[in-house]
Amino acid sequence: MNSLGINYGEKLIFSTGNIMSINDIIKKPSQSSTQELIEAINFTLKENFKNGDSGEQHLKVISRVDDTRQKIQENGVDALKIGLKVFLTNDNEENLKDALNTALSQQLDVSNVSDVIVSFKKQTTDDLDAIKKIWRHLESYVEKKVVGEIGIADVEESTFRSLYNWAKVKPNIIQINLATCCVVPPTLQAFCKENDLKLFTHSDSSDILPSQSITDIFEKPLDLQWAVRYTIHIKCRGVLITKGYCLCFSLK
């Protein structure tokens, strides 16, 4: 047990719950997604520490009581746009499956979501074979009607075109980080317009939670396997009502 009062198992699942209910985060709307996530984790750890440790030998789950499921029930799934962004650290399709199942079943308790966007760490960003490996698995969720639309973040235009031409289930969404690409290429804009694709910009780091930040937070070197951010909007008004993160760590 470390000074945070946590008995670490071989696997750690972490859920921040609805971070829009955390005042310290709401007051800092301009902070980066990494800073936001670090604050949410620290807040959740403090709450978990108060509640005591209930870990099992090979699996530890850390979460906090929040209103995510209540808000979904109050508004009804059909009236909501539920989106997931999955941050992957490698091309292991089991990690994608684990991330989506954790978000859908354990956190949100829903049978389907509107869209899923995948983001890879830099070393995998333009590895088309690695992307295809994950994409094949992602396609199955669309075919089973668990996911409505699928997309990808931060790949070169040539990689995106190759993925689009190869894919059985075409990507509907591409996200471009303006921190690394200050102007969206006109050729990419034209390609998206011709194929009726959604082109969005964002400011997320592909390394959503750096190794040093993990060690600083947990007082122990852990490997981040995946992270999922979920956002829930009311369709008719476009109002964001819930936002949160689920993460999976393993011992180094």
Note whether residue 54 is domain-resident: no
Query: For residue 183, what are its two tokens?
Result: 């102007």
Note whether residue 155 is domain-resident: yes
Q: In terms of pTM, does the model score above 0.85? A: yes
Note whether residue 24 is domain-resident: no
Note whether residue 236 is domain-resident: yes
> Which residue, 152, 149, 169, is CA-closest to 206?
152
pLDDT at 146 over 80: yes
Are the C-beta atoms of residues 53 and 45 closer than 8 Å to each other? no
- The residue range of the domain holding 154 is 74-251
Average pLDDT along the chain: 89
pLDDT at 64: 85
Note whether residue 109 is domain-resident: yes
> Which residue, 62, 60, 32, 13, is CA-closest to 208?
32
pLDDT at 50: 52
- Mean pLDDT confidence for 53-57: 51
Note whether residue 25 is domain-resident: no
The residue written with tokens 């190794």 in the block is 211
pLDDT range class, residue 126, cuts 50, 70, 90: confident
Are the C-beta atoms of residues 159 and 243 closer than 8 Å to each other? no
Angstrom distance (rounded) from CA 10 to CA 93: 19
> Which residue, 71, 63, 27, is CA-closest to 232?
71
Angstrom distance (rounded) from CA 209 to CA 218: 12
pLDDT at 52 over 50: no
Note whether residue 29 is domain-resident: no
pLDDT at 125: 61
> Which residue, 2, 209, 28, is CA-closest to 121?
209
pLDDT range class, residue 252, cuts 50, 70, 90: confident
Phi, psi of 52 (to 5 degrees): 90, 170
Domain count, the chain: 1
> Which residue, 115, 16, 108, 14, is CA-closest to 68?
108
Which of 64-68, 120-124, 169-173, 215-219 holds the top average pLDDT? 169-173
Q: Look at 2-11, 88-97, 159-168, 187-196 and tell me which has the smallest mean pLDDT.
A: 2-11
Note whether residue 184 is domain-resident: yes
pLDDT at 124: 60
H or E element that contains 87: strand 80-88
**Residue type (1 letter), 93:** E
Angstrom distance (rounded) from CA 118 to CA 26: 26
Burial class (CB in 10 A: 0-12, 13-18, 19+), 74: exposed
- Mean pLDDT confidence for 17-24: 86
- Mean pLDDT confidence for 218-236: 94
